[in-house]
Amino acid sequence: MSDCLFCKIAAGEIPAIIVSRDAEFVVFRDINPQAPTHVLVIPLVHVASLNEATDRELLAGLLARARDAARELGLAERGYRVVVNTNAEAGQTVFHLHAHVLGGRGMRWPPG
Ligand code: AMP
Ligand code: ZN
């Protein structure tokens, strides 16, 4: 999608600190980190939000990729959080499906 920020990051048209990429997903550092480690996992294909995601294999891949990123970033044993903000009340601001992977500090529950 031509005016989508994360499509542009996926295409390399807007710079980001890329952690890893494969044929389906890109993992990059969040520009405004909310934890010592905060990365975003996005599919290369444009999907606006979890509500619009009809491809269950893509969703499984997103979660697996978030898990793999947490492992690669050294978070697996101590723990981490995977968050998919969806629409207004959850605070979604970028309408290209993404999973936040947060770790490196203790986290409270329930989230704000
Ligand atoms: P959400 O609120 O769930 O839609 O999350 C969007 C996230 O994208 C926020 O955590 C932002 O800090 C992050 N973000 C926005 N612009 C950029 C950018 N250019 N590079 C990296 N992360 C970004
Ligand atoms: Zn997009």
pLDDT tens per residue across span 99-110: 999 999 999 999
Residue 62 lies in a domain: yes
Domain harbouring 27, CATH code: 3.30.428.10
**Which range of residues forms the domain containing residue 71?**
5-103
pTM for the predicted model, two decimal places: 0.98
Verify whether ligand 1 is closer than 6 Å to residue 86 (CB atom). no
The closest ligand to the CA of 10 turns out to be 2
Strand order in the sheet with 80-83: 18-21, 25-29, 37-43, 99-103, 80-83
Report how many domains make up the chain: 1
Residue 109 lies in a domain: no
Residue 49 lies in a domain: yes
Residue 95 lies in a domain: yes
Q: Is 98 a catalytic residue?
A: yes
- Which segments in the chain show pLDDT lower than 50? none
Q: Are 62 and 25 in contact (CB under 8 A)?
A: yes
Verify whether ligand 1 is closer than 6 Å to residue 93 (CB atom). yes
